[in-house]
Amino acid sequence: MGLSLSNPLVFFSLILALSAISSLAFQSDELLVDDDEFGLEGGLEHAFGDSDFSTAGTFTARLKTWNHGGQTLTKLRFSRNAFSAEEKEKFSRLLQGDDFYRIRLPSNVLSPPGRDFVVSSVKARCLPRDALDEHIVINTDGVNILGVNYGAPGACPYPRQLKLPSKWSFNSHTILKNTEQAPRAPIFTEDILGGEGGEGEIVPPPERSFWAKYWMYLIPLGLIVMNAITQAMNLPEEQAAGQAQQPTAVQRGAPPSAVRRR
């Protein structure tokens, strides 16, 4: 009786021990807010068009150290500052002028701020939806940030109605990639589509002149017309020259007259 009761207890104890070991061996690397390894912090800056850079928020990341001594960044997250009234006005001017909104990050997260930076930009009209939606792909090599692809989660069609966001807050979608080669600068295609509807104040797009819209068609057409006019002006001269040459050819080809005998 005692042996039959001890076997289930031993079996249950073994299950608990194996569960504890497996949980330690396969512990998830998902981070808690108060995780000590999540203490690495850096600054995010932005600029409106050609203006100077200013503080836009912070980023936090986990610095993972490998057995061979190398370090990599993981779990990078952004915390955005709310736009001030002045920044809202600057962003509105970017929309009206179809200008770029820029961000920059330090190229090395462990070095003191103010050294080298990695800069990326996107047309301001690509960001507003209900809020300001941004998509950030960060390419790293160890603790170095090699490149940043900055844009919007969806397509950025052109021309379109330019609208102010209903909420002046950022929805940041971040992807962290560890690579040994910095990527090319991002190319955000501008599909020729109609404007998107939605909530928010509508800002009319900048009006372009007739020449700005159709210059690529007008220049070849002008060359064709000039060529046709030149050929038409040269045609009468060629005809007159041909008619003048015909009598001369007849005189030269006529047989010599017979010598009159006395």
CA distances for 242 relative to 228, 230, 234, 238, angstroms: 21, 19, 13, 6
Residue-level pLDDT at 84 = 93
User: Distance (Å, rounded) from C-alpha 3 to C-alpha 10?
Assistant: 11
Each residue of 130-170: pLDDT tens digit? 889 999 999 988 888 888 999 988 877 676 667 788 889 99
Cβ(51)–Cβ(77) below 8 Å: no
Residue-level pLDDT at 27 = 40
Side-chain half-sphere exposure of 222, counting CA atoms within 13 A? 6
Q: Which residue has the higher pLDDT, 73 or 197?
A: 73
Residue 123 has pLDDT above 70, yes or no: yes
pTM of structure: 0.55
Residue-level pLDDT at 201 = 46
User: Distance (Å, rounded) from C-alpha 213 to C-alpha 227?
Assistant: 24
Each residue of 45-91: pLDDT tens digit? 999 999 999 999 998 888 888 777 777 888 888 899 999 999 999 99
- What whole-number percentage of the chain has pLDDT above 70? 61
Cβ(106)–Cβ(115) below 8 Å: yes
Residue-level pLDDT at 47 = 96
Locate the domains of the chain by residue range.
31-215
Residue-level pLDDT at 4 = 46
Residue-level pLDDT at 80 = 92
Average pLDDT of span 197-222:
66
Residue-level pLDDT at 177 = 87
Cβ(42)–Cβ(106) below 8 Å: yes
Give Cα 124 distance to the centre of its chain: 11
